Amino acid sequence: MCSSIAVVYPSAVVNSQAGAVALQFDDGIGFKFIPAFLDTEGKGYVCPLDVAQGTWQLINPRAEIGAIESADVGSIKNLRRFCRILRVWKTFQNLPISPLLLDSFALDFISNWKYSDKSFAYYDWMCRDFFLYLKNQDPETHSWPAVGSEQLLPRAGEFESVAARCYVLAQEAIAHEHNKQGWLANQKWLVIFGERFLD
């Protein structure tokens, strides 16, 4: 599969260890292909963890999607929007967090956040409080359960210090907003999210 896709798309990035192929197109849309087979017990899909070692892992994307959809309804559609915001942040800050782990953090956070049923007007507080939540993760923790499937998601690197820095910046941005200093607030958000903050 990997070599066939690479022939058609020479820019494809092949991860031979996981048997995966990543495609990134000029318009910013990307795809990742992973060979997967239905689990014989109906618990999800089996896909390669390490091709060279012949190890496989069980994944259950349907359970993960279901958990996100359920929590999204409970948060008046704030969760999915927030996950998109966090992906922009992750990319701009070059954070070593998998998208699924970031979604799992977001769901855990928003499920316990007292303003989860509020409107867009609270998104600045949502970002600030999420950065606080993330910076307070135990640095000794090496994996977290995925939302819905409970699949263990490994730590890929340190992210707490970036979250701590962004927490301070968000506090400063909110203080500028409170003082009607919109331009100064935007400068702080730009340091957190980059130019896409203006989109």
Which pLDDT tens digit goes with each residue over 147-156? 999 889 999 9
Between 109 and 120, the more confident residue is 109
Residue 17 confidence class, pLDDT cut points 50, 70, 90: low
Q: How far apart are CA 72 and CA 82, in angstroms?
A: 10
pLDDT greater than 60 at residue 128: yes
Which tokens hold the place of 151?
A: 């699949």
pLDDT tops 90 at residue 166: yes
Tally Cβ neighbours within 10 Å of residue 64: 21
pTM of the model: 0.82
Residue 1, pLDDT score: 53
- Residue 176 phi/psi, 5° resolution? -65, -40
Bridge partners for 117 per DSSP: none
Number of other CB atoms surrounding residue 92 within 10 Å: 16
Nearby residues of 47 by Cβ (< 8 Å), 6 or more positions away = 19, 34, 35, 36, 37, 56, 57, 59
